[in-house]
């Protein structure tokens, strides 16, 4: 990243850079054509140069070589039968990346774009994100190239049951605990939990998180990622004597993360004027009516374009990328990876954006991130800003182990504390390693150190 060029190249720095570059070359060779994985690795590696320069012990222990190699990568066949009796075969994945500080933990994504590269980028990032939460959880991720769009409830059930039939052999409350991600929400988690319970013949509540509150789920988990992203941005703004009050906000996506980011930003006095799905975006200058979005998306499972039928003053524009051309004070990308490219970032900056909070995983390209940092836009990177979801998943695991339930207020209060801690730890790490204000570097370092230290303590494993 360009920000590193500001650092004086001492001998230690050059050694560290050489180490990082060598391991990165190895990653590219061994994982050819996995561009998303390369991108996620590159961002972390560049951030860690000052750490290796200061503490060469990490290099001596081959930490990066070990960290980039998943402990285990499982790929499996998922056969299922559609409503017309036709057989389909999808591919299932679970990457168990790192268990140094706790059982593998991370979501499952059902989307046609899912492949090994996407699962590995998500699993790799999850290691550092989970470490940042301060909770005892390792990094994992999984999913399938199954497309839930247009499928009936019964098809979704048959697919998820088949998926779980294989996945169940590899997970458990103390080994690996999946949850939701794109295309996997309360409905899918319910079907998967039912199938897991049936296969195990035991009620192991802590094997999945994001469960319904009636059968072991935590109050506040549904809201946690979106709320957490807004809490994180609130901390960034507070440090500058600012707040959400009166701000114009653009939030991409209209799924789980987006919906609850819209809810919390609005509650804090902002006006959210746009959201999107993969077919396009809606712009409502009066502020998005969230009740309509929730009904369309959570209940009726319709397209966001239907919003304008009920709110005639709003407009729908085809193509989701155009959302970043809307002038705003705060932008929260909450849909998918690489949704903010350099051209989008330039538009946002030209239109005077003050803060970005990444609700999605890796939504900004490396070039876009550099542009935001160069222009002093407050930038909350995904691993830090969207960690609220997995943090509350860990709180769900804690409640399951203790066989009790906390109130919504208790969970929300803990979430706010966790987001404040992540912010503070990222700020402090950035400062300690010579990049004050750079939360990309700060979050990556703060997440890394805890995992690396645990790995060294546990020997060469």
Name the residues annotated as catalytic. 141
What does 272 interact with, of ligand 2IT, ligand NDP, none (CB < 5 to 8 A by kind)?
A: none
Half-sphere exposure of 306 (CA within 13 A, CB side): 11
Beta strands in 180-329 (DSSP E): 248-251, 271-277, 280-283, 315-318
What does 182 interact with, of ligand NDP, ligand 2IT, none (CB < 5 to 8 A by kind)?
A: ligand NDP
Among 70, 102, 107, 381, binds ligand 2IT (CB under 6 A): 107
Residues numbered 387-406 forming contacts with ligand 2IT, rule: CB under 6 A: 389-390, 393
Q: Which long-range contacts (CB under 8 A, 24 or more apart) does 309-313 make?
A: 311/284, 311/286, 313/284, 313/285, 313/286
Coil vs helix vs strand at 252: coil
Taking the least distance from each CB to ligand NDP, the nearer of 279 and 407 is: 279
Owner of token pair 């991130």: 369
Taking the least distance from each CB to ligand NDP, the nearer of 23 and 43 is: 43
Q: Work out the angle at residue 61's Cα, subtended by the Cα atoms of residues 55 and 64, and round it to the nearest 5 degrees.
A: 85
For the beta carbon of residue 6, count every other beta carbon within 10 angstroms: 9
Q: Does 333 bind ligand 2IT (CB under 6 A)?
A: no
Q: How far is the CB of 252 from ligand 2IT (least distance, A)?
A: 16
Here the tokens at position 227 are 């709320």
Taking the least distance from each CB to ligand NDP, the nearer of 19 and 144 is: 144
- Nearest one of 52, 53, 72, 54 to 62, comparing CA atoms: 52
Q: Using CB positions, name the residue nearest to ligand 2IT.
A: 107
Pairwise CA distance, residues 359 & 388, whole Å: 10
Instruction: List residues binding ligand NDP (CB under 6 A).
Output: 111, 180-183, 185, 225, 253-258, 277-279, 320, 334-336, 359-361, 386, 389
Taking the least distance from each CB to ligand 2IT, the nearer of 50 and 142 is: 142
Taking the least distance from each CB to ligand NDP, the nearer of 329 and 358 is: 358
Residues numbered 203-222 forming contacts with ligand 2IT, rule: CB under 6 A: 209
Sheet with 378-380, strands from edge to edge, namely 315-318, 280-283, 271-277, 248-251, 330-332, 355-357, 378-380
Q: Which stretch binds ligand 2IT (CB under 6 A): 29-37, 105-113, 155-163, 237-245?
A: 105-113
Residues that bind ligand 2IT (CB under 6 A): 105-107, 129, 179, 181, 209, 361, 389-390, 393
């Amino acid at each position: 990243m360009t920000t590193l060029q500001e650092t004086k190249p001492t001998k230690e720095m050059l050694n560290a850079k050489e180490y990082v570059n060598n391991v990165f070359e190895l990653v590219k060779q061994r994982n050819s054509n996995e561009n998303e994985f390369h991108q996620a690795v590159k961002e972390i590696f560049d951030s860690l140069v000052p750490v290796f320069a200061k503490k060469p012990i990490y290099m001596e222990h081959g930490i990066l070589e070990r960290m980039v190699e998943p402990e285990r990568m499982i790929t499996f066949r998922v056969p299922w039968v559609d409503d017309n009796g036709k057989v389909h075969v999808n591919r299932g994945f679970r990457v168990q990346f790192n268990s140094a500080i706790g059982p593998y933990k991370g979501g499952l994504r059902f989307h046609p774009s899912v492949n090994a590269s996407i699962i590995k980028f998500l699993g790799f990032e999850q290691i550092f994100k989970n470490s940042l939460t301060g909770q005892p959880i390792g990094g994992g991720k999984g999913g399938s190239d199954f497309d839930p769009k247009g499928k009936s409830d019964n098809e979704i059930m048959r697919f998820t049951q088949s998926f779980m039939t294989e996945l169940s052999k590899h997970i458990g409350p103390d080994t690996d605990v999946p949850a939701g991600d794109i295309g996997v929400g309360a409905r899918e988690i319910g079907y998967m939990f039912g199938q897991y319970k049936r296969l195990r013949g035991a009620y192991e509540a802590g094997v999945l998180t994001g469960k319904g509150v009636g059968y072991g789920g935590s109050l506040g988990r549904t809201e946690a990622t979106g709320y957490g992203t807004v809490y994180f941005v609130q901390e960034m703004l507070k440090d500058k004597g600012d707040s959400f009050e009166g701000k114009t906000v653009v939030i991409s996506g209209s799924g789980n993360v987006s919906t609850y980011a819209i809810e919390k930003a609005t509650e804090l006095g902002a006006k959210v004027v746009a959201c999107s799905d993969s077919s396009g975006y809606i712009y409502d200058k009066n502020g998005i009516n969230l009740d309509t979005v929730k009904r369309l998306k959570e209940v009726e499972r319709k397209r966001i374009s239907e919003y304008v039928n009920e709110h005639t003053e709003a407009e729908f524009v085809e193509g989701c990328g155009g959302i970043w051309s809307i002038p705003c004070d705060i932008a929260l990308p909450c849909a998918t990876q690489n949704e903010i490219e350099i051209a989008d970032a330039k538009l946002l900056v030209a239109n005077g954006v003050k803060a970005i909070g990444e609700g999605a995983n890796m939504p900004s390209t490396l070039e876009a991130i550099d542009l935001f940092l160069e222009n002093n836009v407050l930038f909350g990177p995904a691993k830090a800003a969207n960690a609220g979801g997995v943090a509350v998943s860990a709180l769900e695991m804690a409640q399951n182990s203790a066989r009790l339930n906390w109130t919504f207020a208790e969970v929300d209060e803990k979430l706010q504390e966790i987001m404040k801690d992540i912010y503070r730890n990222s700020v402090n790490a950035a400062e300690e390693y010579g990049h004050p204000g750079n939360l990309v570097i700060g979050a990556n370092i703060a997440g890394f150190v805890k995992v690396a230290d645990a790995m060294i303590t546990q020997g060469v494993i």
